[in-house]
């Protein structure tokens, strides 16, 4: 009888615990390239595991997996709702602006977010840090405006809108040594997608998340323009980038999961590549 009661109690306790749904997704990329000497092959695998129960989830990301590398989690975060307020905590990436002059960075932190009268408001605090960062975002007269680290003199301001079919984005950050600015334009002209980015670095070094221009970590000014379209052979993109005095011309042909590339940078050998990538 005691055993039966114990079994019933354990079963009842187990049934009261919500079971989580678990999903696994990933991105694989393998690149064969050759500029001088022998060709080389590099591969990379990123995995994301998400466990969800109701409005609560835990996300783990394992990035940059290749042969003989140790498993390292770059993201472990909890996301849930606390009385209608979104709560996120753990080690995860945050992004200033849209990535034109600031690369997404990971760190231990927590944040609270809500919406008040159409304005999104959030507070993010690094673990063990006393001063939180405040972000405000909303639409003002047709412009999407976001102010990050709003109470700090080095606040990051990003504005985006659409003007006559042209998507426009502007970013500005004042740093201790100067002000960094960037803008991007993109549109479609008779089936040809045209994009342009321009960056000026007068303050601390900048990096890009989108990587459209390239490595701008040591640049004072940089820009790039591209045109892409679908053809009978596949999608073709032609790009010209300039980082300070160095110019790079590149051509990419995408056929299914394979991207064939050619690039040539000032005073460097041309590079040929074939990249296989897919998501699952």
Which DSSP string do the residues of the chain spell out, in sequence order?
-HHHHHHHHHHHHHHTSPPPEEEEEEEEEEEEEESSSS-EEEEEEEEEEEEEETTEEEEEEEEEE-TTPPP-EEEEEEEEEETTEEEEEEEEEE-STTSSS---EEEEEEEEEEEETTEEEEEEEETT-SS-EEEEEEEETTEEEEEESTTSTT-EEEEEEEETTEEEEEEEEEETTEEEEEEEEEEEETTEEEEEEEEEE-SS----SS-SS---TT-SEEEEEEEEEE-SS-EEEEEEEEETTEEEEEEEEEETTEEEEEEEETTS--EEEEEEEEE-
4 pLDDT exceeds 60? no
- Give per-residue pLDDT as tens, 103-126: 778 889 999 999 999 999 999 998
Integer angstrom CA distances of residue 139 from 91, 158, 222, 229: 30, 12, 29, 32
Where is average pLDDT lowest: 37-41, 204-208, 224-228?
204-208
Report the percent of the chain where pLDDT is more than 90: 67
Instruction: Give the pLDDT band (50/70/90) at residue 210.
Output: confident
User: For position 253, what pLDDT does the model report?
Assistant: 98
**Of the segments 4-8, 68-72, 143-147, 153-157, which one has the largest average pLDDT value?**
143-147
88 pLDDT exceeds 90? yes
Instruction: Give the pLDDT band (50/70/90) at residue 35.
Output: confident
pTM exceeds 0.85 for this model = no
Nearest to 77 by CA among 94, 102, 99: 94
User: For position 106, what pLDDT does the model report?
Assistant: 84
Where is average pLDDT lowest: 7-16, 206-215, 230-239?
7-16
Segment 253-264 mean pLDDT: 97
* Of residues 178 and 166, more confidently modeled: 166
* Of residues 74 and 61, more confidently modeled: 61
The answer to whether 158 and 150 are in contact (CB under 8 A) is no
Q: 116 has which bridge partners?
A: 119
User: For position 191, what pLDDT does the model report?
Assistant: 95
- Rounded CA separation 178/203 (Å): 4
User: For position 207, what pLDDT does the model report?
Assistant: 82
User: For position 67, what pLDDT does the model report?
Assistant: 64
User: For position 105, what pLDDT does the model report?
Assistant: 80
User: For position 85, what pLDDT does the model report?
Assistant: 95
Segment 43-49 mean pLDDT: 92
Segment 241-259 mean pLDDT: 96
Where is average pLDDT lowest: 68-72, 95-99, 116-120, 144-148?
68-72
Instruction: Give the pLDDT band (50/70/90) at residue 51.
Output: very high
171 pLDDT exceeds 70? yes
12 pLDDT exceeds 50? no
- Give per-residue pLDDT as tens, 184-197: 999 999 999 999 99
């Amino acid at each position: 009888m005691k055993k039966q009661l114990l079994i019933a109690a354990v079963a009842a306790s187990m049934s009261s615990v919500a079971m989580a749904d678990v999903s696994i997704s990933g991105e694989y990329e393998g690149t064969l390239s050759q500029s001088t000497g022998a060709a080389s092959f590099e591969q990379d695998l990123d995995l994301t595991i998400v466990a969800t129960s109701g409005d609560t989830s835990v996300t783990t990301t394992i990035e940059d997996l290749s042969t003989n590398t140790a498993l390292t989690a770059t993201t472990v975060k909890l996301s849930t709702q606390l009385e209608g307020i979104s709560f996120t905590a753990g080690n995860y990436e945050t992004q200033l602006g849209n990535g034109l002059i600031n690369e997404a960075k990971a760190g231990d932190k927590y944040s609270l977010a809500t919406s008040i009268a159409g304005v999104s408001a959030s507070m993010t605090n690094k673990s063990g840090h006393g001063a939180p960062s405040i972000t405000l975002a909303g639409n003002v007269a047709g412009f999407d405006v976001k102010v990050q680290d709003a109470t700090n003199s080095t606040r990051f301001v990003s504005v985006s809108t659409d003007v006559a079919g042209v998507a426009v984005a502007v970013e500005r950050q004042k740093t201790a040594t100067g002000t960094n600015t960037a803008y991007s334009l993109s549109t479609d002209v008779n089936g040809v997608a045209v994009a342009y980015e321009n960056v000026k670095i007068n303050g601390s070094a900048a990096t890009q998340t989108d990587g459209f221009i390239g490595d701008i970590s040591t640049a004072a000014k940089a820009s790039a323009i591209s045109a892409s379209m679908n053809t009978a052979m596949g999608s073709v993109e032609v790009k010209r980038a300039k980082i300070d005095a160095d110019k790079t011309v590149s051509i990419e042909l995408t056929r299914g999961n394979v991207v064939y590339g050619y690039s040539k940078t000032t005073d460097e050998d041309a590079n040929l590549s074939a990249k296989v990538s897919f998501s699952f």
